[in-house]
Amino acid sequence: MLKLIQELMRLYLPQGVVTEEALQAHILGQQTLPPDITTTDGLTRTIAIPFHRIPKAAEGRHWALLCEVANALQDELDLPAPAVSIASQEGFCLWLSLATPLPSLEAGQFVELLHQVYFPETEPVLGAPIELPPCLNRDIGRWTAFINPGMGASFIGEPGLEIAPPQAAQAAFLEGLESIDAARFTAALERLQSRAAGAVATVSHQGQAASAPASATPEGLLLKDATLEDIVRHLHAMQIEPTFRHVLPGTHSR
């Protein structure tokens, strides 16, 4: 079994819902699985939090919000680090893995509470179709893919990737991530419910982030900008040939 398939199944897919063959066709662009992959009784192991471009906001504001929410998930809600992906059309997504499947409605309510508390300036996110990376959007010919968190600011304004991302790099972005156990999720949900009920949610440097240059990730965030050389060194340290560099903005002809 491919390492990437192993990681996707370990983190995001309930047992027996998707075959190895179907998942392999998905990551090769031969077919695209439906965005909402659940069991027959509506259980999911995935919480996806999309961040689309915000009309009339400063360019890159959606990326700044993603960084703030990624921090809050870890620092305030005591959850493990999420994966980060670039969408095939525009924007980004945070991915949380659940150790025990939950009703998809409950997972959606968790996302909506996050929206109310941490990024209410955006449009509601419930019901938005989200593709499990990596995969090809067959309508527009662009790829969604997991990315190194430090690469995010480089993708502001980019509609996905032009070519399929290397599978080894995709697996490497996932292999150190953890799933959320039931007790940890319940505790985080209770904190969110308390905040949404009237407590003041404090997001560090939110005002500064709104006026920060679009090319920079706001100060104080856990997700920092990385240069191309930083990314290449990171992948080399993991014994991965960094062919991913060929799909970074500015490294291919337009």
pLDDT tens for 88-147 read 888 999 999 999 999 999 999 999 999 999 999 888 766 556 789 999 998 899 999 999
* Residue 232's pLDDT band (cuts 50, 70, 90): low
Amino acid identity at 88? S
Domain ranges of the chain: 3-247
Please tell me the least confidently modeled range out of 14-18, 84-88, 113-117, 211-215: 211-215
| H helices, E strands: number in the chain | 8, 5
Task: State pLDDT tens for residues 75-95.
Answer: 999 999 999 999 988 899 999
CA distances from 50 to 84, 95, 254 (A): 10, 9, 27
The string of pLDDT tens digits covering residues 41-76 is 999 999 999 998 888 888 899 999 999 999 999 999
* Local structure of residue 161 (DSSP, 8 states): B
How do residues 179-193 score in pLDDT, each as one tens digit? 999 999 999 999 999
pTM of the model: 0.79
pLDDT grade for 236, boundaries at 50, 70 and 90: low
Closest CA to 140 of 158, 166, 167: 158
